[in-house]
């Protein structure tokens, strides 16, 4: 809940007028919203506009002048105009000489122009100190005060003092400036608001591909096979049974893929005998998207949990249960309790529940505010130790689910293994290799390498 959201903000000119005047070129949505917010924060605001006829949407406390007049009144000029109209600024180059000119523009596409808007502006106004800022904030967020979205404002520019001035304004508006370096960073900053989860792209498409593969695999084995050989129409498996088979399989595989790159990196470091060489590019990229892989795995695990808990309500399951009970009743016999079976069923469920519990715990610590409040050692403990515990529990859960079916020929329809068997390949590999890596005779040199020791020193200081 933000204090502004309840409209208690005093919209009043600053009585002591110590804050320097800010000029805004352009009276469009964003220019107006920014002006409002600045006046609230005690800045006198002057608008530079083609016509000085005042729209009733412009804050009353602001002056509206011609561009040239307005620019002369302020040290900081904010250009709230689209890039295609920048050339109108060329005649003003002299007035803007030495002033701080803030480019707040955004593009419609990634890398729309060869150079960033801010760099283009700096070319048009060689004497001005161009700073890129504010492009990640929306007019709506500024207006409503309901800053639900990000408060981060990326700032870059070649002149350190000009940047500092802009960052002070950003702070005064209740936003968080992040210095991104020289104006070369402007391209990146302009691309930033156009990005749509760039780090999630690879994990998402990997999951999509695997899900599609497992769906058709299950469709063949569970629906088509049954239809051909047993004449049973189990097409409704598509709605519930198959999703609930795919989800745990995906969760386990993706979780194992989170820990596989770490194991591979250790092997590479051991083989090379040094940590001072870059990993292959694919491994670096893989390591950077581990968090996303893990969160998608958690999503699949959650779906699996809810699907499983909901299954007793399915009409098919209820039908199967009552069929079993009725056939026992009609045969006048009650099966005795099979203790082994009870053990397997109970441990299988308990392992799954515990695995899911630790998975959720690891997931919660990856929330930005939680990971911000733990130190590095604590973060590593949760993400690595608890993560491996989760992997062990989930793998054991799947192994117990399989139970004795691994050796039963009837589990291999069309000589193909069931998908839960496929899902065990990666996690078992990771766990076995990790188990080997923690043997002292291997762990010791690895720790030394990670502390900077080299087998064949070449790159040392």
The greatest distance separating any two alpha carbons of the chain, rounded to the nearest whole angstrom, comes to 102
Q: Which is nearer to its own copies, 348 or 426 (CB)?
A: 348
CA quadruple 50, 56, 59, 63: dihedral positive or negative? Answer: positive
Choice between 271 and 376, CB closer to its own copies: 376
Looking at 49, 107, 269, 418, which residue binds its own copies (CB under 8 A)? Answer: 49
Residue range at the interface with its own copies (CB under 8 A); choices 9-17, 68-76, 263-271, 417-425: 9-17
Contact partners, residue 389, CB within 8 Å, separation at least 6: 358
User: CB of 48: closest distance to its own copies in angstroms?
Assistant: 11
Nearer to its own copies, 93 or 110 (CB): 110
Residues contacting residue 94 through CB under 8 Å, at least 6 positions apart: 127
Select from 65-73, 219-227, 342-350, 418-426 the region that touches its own copies (CB under 8 A).
Answer: 342-350
Residue 179 in contact with its own copies, rule: CB under 8 A: yes
Question: Residue 380 Cβ, how far from its own copies at the closest point, in Å?
Answer: 8
Q: Which range in 84-92, 219-227, 321-329, 387-395 contacts its own copies by CB under 8 A?
A: 321-329
Question: 326, 429, 432, 455: which one contacts its own copies (CB under 8 A)?
Answer: 326
* Paired sense of beta strands 176-179 and 45-48, if any: unpaired
Q: Is 42 in the site for its own copies (CB under 8 A)?
A: yes
Alpha-carbon gap, residue 42 to 257, rounded angstroms: 52
Q: Is 313 in the site for its own copies (CB under 8 A)?
A: yes
Three-class SS of residue 391? helix
Does 368 sit near its own copies (CB under 8 A)?
yes
**Mask for 50-69, x = binds its own copies (CB under 8 A):** xx-x-xxx------------
Q: Which residues contact 176 (CB under 8 A, 6 or more apart)?
A: 151, 152, 153, 170
Q: Which of residues 83-122 bind its own copies (CB under 8 A)?
A: none
In whole angstroms, the minimum distance from the beta carbon of 53 to its own copies comes to 8
Nearer to its own copies, 204 or 412 (CB): 204
Helices (H), 28-159: 29-40, 67-72, 117-124, 139-144
- Binding its own copies by CB under 8 A: which of 306, 447, 455, 457? 306
Distance CA 137, CA 36 (A): 14
Q: Give the nearest distance from C-beta 190 to its own copies in angstroms.
A: 9
Long-range contacts of 67-71 (CB under 8 A, 24+ apart): 67/25, 67/92, 68/92, 68/95, 70/23, 70/24, 70/25, 70/46, 71/23, 71/25, 71/95, 71/96, 71/99
**Alpha-carbon gap, residue 319 to 61, rounded angstroms:** 73
Least CB distance to its own copies at residue 375 (A): 5
- Asked if 455 touches its own copies (CB under 8 A), the answer is no
CA-wise closest residue to 64 among 97, 35, 37: 35
Task: Rule CB under 8 A: say whether 123 interacts with its own copies.
Answer: no
Q: Which residue has the tokens 């050692």?
A: 377
Q: Which residue lies nearer to its own copies by CB, 310 or 425?
A: 310
Residue 315 interacting with its own copies (CB under 8 A) = yes
- Residues ≥6 apart with Cβ < 8 Å to 226: 232, 234
Residues in binding contact with its own copies, number by CB under 8 A: 150
Long-range Cβ contacts of 354-358 (<8 Å, 24+ apart):
354/393, 355/301, 355/390, 355/393, 355/394, 355/396, 355/397, 356/301, 356/302, 356/305, 358/386, 358/389, 358/390, 358/393
Return the residue matching tokens 């056939």: 327
Phi and psi torsions of 413, nearest 5°:
-75, 140
Residue span binding its own copies (CB under 8 A) among the ranges 174-182, 214-222, 404-412, 431-439: 174-182
Binding mask 192-221 for its own copies (x = CB under 8 A): xxxxxxxx----------------------
Site string for its own copies, 249-268 (x = CB under 8 A): --------------------
Distances (CA, A) of 317 to 75, 224, 237, 241, 382: 74, 20, 11, 10, 38
- Site for its own copies contains 185 (CB under 8 A): yes
**Phi, psi at residue 230, to the nearest 5°?**
-115, 0
b (16+ CB within 10 A) / e for 374-398: eeeeebeebbeeebbbbbbbbbbbb
Q: Among residues 18, 60, 231, 404, which is the contact residue for its own copies, using CB under 8 A? A: 18
Among the residue ranges 186-194, 204-212, 222-230, 263-271, the one whose residues contact its own copies (CB under 8 A): 186-194
Binding status of residue 40 toward its own copies by CB under 8 A: yes
C-beta of 425 vs 455, nearer to its own copies: 455
Q: How far is the CB of 178 from its own copies (least distance, A)?
A: 5
State the minimum distance, in angstroms, from the CB of residue 101 to its own copies: 15
From 156-164, 256-264, 407-415, 433-441, give the range in contact with its own copies by CB under 8 A: 156-164
Contact region with its own copies (CB under 8 A), list: 213-221, 250-258, 311-319, 389-397: 311-319
In the complex, least distance from residue 208 CB atom to its own copies, rounded to whole angstroms: 15
């Amino acid at each position: 809940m933000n204090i502004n959201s309840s409209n208690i903000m005093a919209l009043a000119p600053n009585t002591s007028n110590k804050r320097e005047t800010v000029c805004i070129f352009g009276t469009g949505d964003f220019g107006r919203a920014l002006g409002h917010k600045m006046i609230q924060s005690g800045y006198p605001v002057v608008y530079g506009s083609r016509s000085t006829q005042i729209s009733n949407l412009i804050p009353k406390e602001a002056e509206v002048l011609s561009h040239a007049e307005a620019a002369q009144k302020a040290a900081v000029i904010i250009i709230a105009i689209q890039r295609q109209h920048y050339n109108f600024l060329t005649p003003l180059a002299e007035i803007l000489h030495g002033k701080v000119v803030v480019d707040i523009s955004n593009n419609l596409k990634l890398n729309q122009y060869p150079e960033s808007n801010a760099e283009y502006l700096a070319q048009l106004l060689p004497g001005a100190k161009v700073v890129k800022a504010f492009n990640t904030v929306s007019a709506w967020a500024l207006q409503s005060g309901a800053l639900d979205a990000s408060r981060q404002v990326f700032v870059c520019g070649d002149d350190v003092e000009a940047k500092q001035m802009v960052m002070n304004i950003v702070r005064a508006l209740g936003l968080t400036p992040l210095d991104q370096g020289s104006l070369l960073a402007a391209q990146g900053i302009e691309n930033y608001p156009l990005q749509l989860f760039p780090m999630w792209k690879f994990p998402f498409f990997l999951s999509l591909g695997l899900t599609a593969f497992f769906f058709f695999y299950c469709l063949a084995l569970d629906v088509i096979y049954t239809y051909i050989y047993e004449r049973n129409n189990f097409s409704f498996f598509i709605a519930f049974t198959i999703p609930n088979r795919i989800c745990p399989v995906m969760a386990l595989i993706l979780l194992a893929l989170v820990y596989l790159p770490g194991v591979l990196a250790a092997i590479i470091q051991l083989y090379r005998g040094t940590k001072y060489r870059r990993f292959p590019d694919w491994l670096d990229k893989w390591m950077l998207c581990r968090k996303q892989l893990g969160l998608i795995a958690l999503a699949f695990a959650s779906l699996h949990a809810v699907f499983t808990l909901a299954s007793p309500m399915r009409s098919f399951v209820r039908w199967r249960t009552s069929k079993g009970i009725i056939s026992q009743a009609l045969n006048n016999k009650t099966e005795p309790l099979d203790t082994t079976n009870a053990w397997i069923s109970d441990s299988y469920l308990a392992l799954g529940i515990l695995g899911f519990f630790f998975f959720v715990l690891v997931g919660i610590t990856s929330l930005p505010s939680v990971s911000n409040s733990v130190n590095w050692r604590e973060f590593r403990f949760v993400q690595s130790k608890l993560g491996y515990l989760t992997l062990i529990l989930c793998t054991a859960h799947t192994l117990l689910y399989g139970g004795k079916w691994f050796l039963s020929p009837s589990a291999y329809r069309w000589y193909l293994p069931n998908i839960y068997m496929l899902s065990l390949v990666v996690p078992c590999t990771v766990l076995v290799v990790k188990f080997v890596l923690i043997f002292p005779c291997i762990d010791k040199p690895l720790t030394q390498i990670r502390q900077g020791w080299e087998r064949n020193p070449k790159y040392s200081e």
